């Protein structure tokens, strides 16, 4: 039905799907790439400058 809707053959539709599917980046690889990009944008980080638990939750001490 999809092939008819797109005025194409089933073979052409399957070929198009397979080409698109094979060119997609696997989920794990995408996540690794995004992590590297995010880590690359972090310039200065020190654990000592973190908020306390009470500050993070907006609690008055």
Higher pLDDT, 60 or 54: 54
Q: 14-47, pLDDT tens digit by residue?
A: 998 888 888 777 888 889 999 999 999 988 878 7
Sort residue 58 into left (φ over 0), alpha (ψ -120 to 50) or beta. Answer: left
Distance CA 12, CA 14 (A): 5
pLDDT given for residue 19 in this prediction: 84
Confidence class of residue 61 from pLDDT cuts 50, 70 and 90? Answer: low
Q: Residue 38: enclosing H or E segment and its boundaries?
A: helix 27-41
Token pair for 35: 């992590």
pTM over 0.85: no
Is 13 in contact with 3 (CB distance < 8 Å)? Answer: yes
Token pair for 56: 């993070």
Domains of the chain, by residue range, sit at 2-56
């Amino acid at each position: 039905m999809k092939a008819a809707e797109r005025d194409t053959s089933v073979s052409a539709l399957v070929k198009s799907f397979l080409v698109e599917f094979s060119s997609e980046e696997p989920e794990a690889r995408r996540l690794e790439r995004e992590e590297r990009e995010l880590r690359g944008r972090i310039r200065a980080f020190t654990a000592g400058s973190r908020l306390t638990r009470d500050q993070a939750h907006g609690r008055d001490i």
